[in-house]
């Protein structure tokens, strides 16, 4: 790995050492700074000025989050030091990441969630209009992909939402129209965008900035799962959802915009609470939400301390006890160098791998390992609505699997139980996990050592709701997944 110091050339008067846990510490005399670089990839570092004298006081600990992979500005033709890439989404059905880019040409990139490799693009035929033809993107629970344009004057020009039924489908226009709600604020939409639900229960939310800043969140609903209508607006206050919004499991709306506290509103526009300034600065920009089996979390784009317009780190905030009792869990390392003056970006939860996938405009697209800070373990809870049971049966050792194998569950569709069969060519640690369509872990069926052979696991989903579920096998680092349908 090569470390590129962000403050310029290293002088000949530099010192290098390694501490007890393996962090590389570099003193760079030319700019009078220390660099603390965390292995294994060199991305996880921070910088602090070197004072005159003998000692240096470090007040901010190293981030515990490693970047599993990262694409920095300038490392891909579609991702440069500009403001043309702002939206990112994760699809648990395909294990792919989508990034909207306008650099050079309009594209929706498809990346591997595992390693960030480029896997091609979505079809953007016929997409046009708007201040930007596409800006933000999200994925519904059924795997349908939605993206919106940016429209700074949606009262007089059409705001558009496009839909891809799947990665191979052409885009269709899910909504095109003007948003003529009351009030004198700018009717700017497309800076913030969120999709929840699936099929005919899909809901789309959007807001934006403007001058004066938009004080509304527009809500779009559907009766056929394909075509959408603007059916409601929720008033949250001037600019309070202009750079980020998210919807929690109860349908409440989280909103944020630089210069405001993160707030939570119900569908009537009643403020339910705010995240204290002491936890997340009012200068923070975006907000995204994830619920795991052990808690509720926000991901917030914020300033690098002491760097003007340095919107390139994300704060992970535990809001399980509500906004007023929010707790800062961790901050991602600063792996960018560029000024992000618009405060644009987004972070989404990858429940299949327990990672944070984030984009900080003109800085990076990256995947951070959350294993050390966000636990995702199924814990049965009375009345929680889900308490699946699993049973593991030893396989026939006269027939050792030739390779790692995960078979389609049988029966499928099922109600209420089904069998999942997998094979191991060698002994090792095995984890078999079930996720819902939102990427939330609902069951851990196996988590332990297994000998080589074939295994059958019974999955009882009596207390789960009907829908699509993903089962994921992680055996000695080999990851396989399948999809199953529960119909009650």
Whole-angstrom distance, CA of residue 184 vs CA of residue 238: 11
Please give the backbone phi and psi of residue 482, each rounded to the nearest 5 degrees, phi first.
-140, 170
Residue recorded with tokens 């990256």: 366
Residue recorded with tokens 């007890």: 20
Please say whether the beta carbons of 460 and 417 come within 8 A.
yes
Whole-angstrom distance, CA of residue 417 vs CA of residue 181: 48
Please say whether the beta carbons of 244 and 285 come within 8 A.
yes
For residue 118, pLDDT beyond 70: yes
Give Cα 475 to chain centroid, integer Å.
Answer: 25
329's tokens: 């869990």
Please say whether the beta carbons of 298 and 317 come within 8 A.
yes
The fraction of the chain above a pLDDT of 90, given in percent, is 61
Query: What pLDDT shows up at residue 181?
Result: 85
Measuring CA to CA, which residue among 263, 261, 206, 214 is closest to residue 239?
Answer: 214
For residue 116, pLDDT beyond 90: yes
Whole-angstrom distance, CA of residue 281 vs CA of residue 97: 28
User: 42-96 pLDDT, tens per residue?
Assistant: 434 444 444 443 343 333 445 678 899 999 999 999 999 999 999 999 998 888 9
User: 28-54 pLDDT, tens per residue?
Assistant: 554 445 555 544 434 344 444 444 433
Domain 67-369 has CATH 2.120.10.30: yes
User: Which of the pair, 306 or 34, is modelled with greater confidence?
Assistant: 306
User: 204-261 pLDDT, tens per residue?
Assistant: 999 999 888 899 999 999 999 999 999 999 999 999 999 999 999 899 999 999 999 9
The whole-chain average pLDDT of the chain stands at 84
Domain 389-486 has CATH 3.40.1350.10: no
Residue recorded with tokens 């059409």: 158
Measuring CA to CA, which residue among 168, 179, 166 is closest to residue 220?
Answer: 179
Q: Where are the domains of the chain?
A: 1-62, 67-369, 389-486
Residue recorded with tokens 């300033």: 303
Query: What pLDDT shows up at residue 93?
Result: 85
């Amino acid at each position: 790995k090569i470390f590129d110091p962000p403050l310029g050339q290293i002088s000949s008067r530099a010192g290098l050492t390694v501490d007890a846990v393996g962090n590389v510490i570099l003193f760079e005399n030319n700019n009078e700074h220390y660099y603390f670089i965390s292995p294994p990839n060199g991305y996880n570092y921070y910088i602090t000025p070197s004072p005159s004298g003998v000692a240096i006081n470090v007040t901010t600990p190293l981030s515990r989050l490693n970047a599993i992979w990262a694409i920095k500005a300038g490392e891909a033709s579609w991702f440069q030091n500009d403001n043309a890439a702002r939206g990112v989404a994760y699809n648990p059905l395909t294990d792919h990441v989508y990034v909207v880019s306008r650099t050079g040409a309009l594209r929706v990139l498809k990346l591997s969630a595992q390693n960030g490799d480029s896997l091609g693009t979505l079809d953007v035929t016929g997409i046009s209009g708007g201040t930007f033809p596409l800006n933000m993107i999200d994925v519904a629970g059924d795997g349908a992909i939605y993206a919106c344009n940016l429209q700074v004057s949606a009262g007089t020009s059409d705001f558009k939402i496009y839909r891809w039924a799947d990665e191979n489908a052409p885009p269709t226009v899910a909504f095109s129209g003007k948003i003529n709600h009351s009030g004198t604020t700018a009717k700017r939409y497309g800076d913030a965008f969120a999709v929840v639900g699936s099929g005919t229960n899909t809901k789309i939310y959007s807001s934006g900035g403007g001058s004066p800043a938009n004080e509304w969140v527009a809500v779009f609903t559907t009766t056929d799962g394909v075509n959408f209508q603007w059916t409601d607006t929720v008033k949250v206050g001037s600019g309070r959802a202009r750079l980020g919004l998210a919807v929690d499991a109860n349908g409440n709306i989280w909103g944020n915009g630089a210069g405001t506290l993160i707030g939570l509103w119900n569908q009537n526009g009643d403020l339910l609470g705010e995240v204290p300034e002491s936890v997340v600065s009012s200068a923070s920009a975006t907000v995204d939400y994830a619920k795991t089996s052990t808690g509720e979390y926000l991901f917030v784009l914020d300033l690098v301390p002491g760097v003007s317009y340095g919107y390139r780190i994300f704060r992970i905030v535990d809001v399980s006890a509500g906004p007023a009792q929010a707790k800062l869990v961790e901050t991602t390392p600063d792996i960018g160098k560029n000024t992000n003056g618009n405060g644009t970006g987004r972070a989404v939860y990858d429940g299949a791998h327990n990672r944070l996938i984030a984009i900080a405009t003109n800085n990076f697209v990256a995947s951070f390992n959350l294993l050390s800070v966000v636990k995702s373990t199924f814990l049965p809870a009375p009345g929680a609505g889900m308490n699946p049971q699993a049973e593991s049966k030893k396989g026939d050792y006269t027939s050792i699997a030739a390779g790692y194998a995960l078979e389609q569950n049988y029966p499928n569709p099922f109600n209420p139980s089904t069998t999942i069969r997998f094979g191991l060519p060698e002994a090792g640690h095995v984890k078999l996990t079930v996720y819902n369509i939102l990427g939330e872990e609902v069951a851990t069926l196996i988590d332990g050592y297994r000998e080589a052979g074939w295994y059958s696991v019974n999955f009882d989903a009596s207390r789960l709701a009907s829908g699509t579920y993903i089962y994921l096998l992680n055996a000695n680092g080999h990851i396989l997944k399948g999809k199953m349908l529960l119909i009650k």
